[in-house]
Amino acid sequence: MQKFQAIIETPFAKLGVQAQNDSITSIDFMVSSLEKPFFSSGLTEFLAHQIGCYLQNPLHKFEMSLLPDGTEFQKSVWQIMQTIEAGNTLSYGDVALMLNSSPRAVGNACRRNPIPLLIPCHRIVAKNGLGGFAGQTKGSVFDIKRWLLNHEAQ
């Protein structure tokens, strides 16, 4: 059984996409993948189009049905992420205050975000710096966060 329903090439990584019915369920960053891009459905073709629009205009708002799997707390963090406009950020502490939680719990929810880019966890940063990304604070996956924030700052 094939793991992905699509692989979409971007300037920062190839994206392995999983979908269920008419919703996106996960996106994986495949920074060193040799797999070729493909689309298995109209949904994944539309996602590729939406990502192309975002790459041309970082203010583009994604119009996709999402079905992330997570706890109620994680979903509340992800919902806040989706309210942060491109070019803006919130700190882990800011989100923690909104949810009467802790910055560490918010960071853990960010790390478990199954649909990065569409649920923009890259817009959550540390009070003094970028924080982490996908559980990393350096390396090729962390460089994606820097790329996305720079793209949106244009």
Pair (82, 145) in one structural domain: yes
Give the angle subtended at the CA of 29 by the CAs of 154 and 91, to the nearest 5°. Answer: 55
pTM over 0.85: yes
**Pairing between strand 90-91 and 23-30?**
unpaired
Arithmetic mean of pLDDT, 23-34: 88
Please report whether residue 51 resides in a domain.
yes
Pair (90, 120) in one structural domain: yes
Which pLDDT score is estimated for 1? 42
- In the predicted model, is pLDDT for residue 2 greater than 70? no
When the pLDDT of each residue in the chain is averaged and rounded to a whole number, the result is 94
- In the predicted model, is pLDDT for residue 66 greater than 90? yes
Rounded-to-integer distance, Cα 109 and Cα 78, Å: 8
Q: Give me the active site residues, please.
A: 121
Sequence-distant (≥ 6) Cβ neighbours of residue 153 within 8 angstroms: 87
Q: Read off the pLDDT of residues 108-151 as tens digits, 9 standing for 90 and up.
A: 999 999 999 999 999 999 999 999 998 888 999 999 999 999 99
Pair (44, 88) in one structural domain: no
Pair (46, 88) in one structural domain: no
- In the predicted model, is pLDDT for residue 32 greater than 80? no
Rounded-to-integer distance, Cα 70 and Cα 30, Å: 22
Q: Find the domain containing 146 and state its range.
A: 72-152
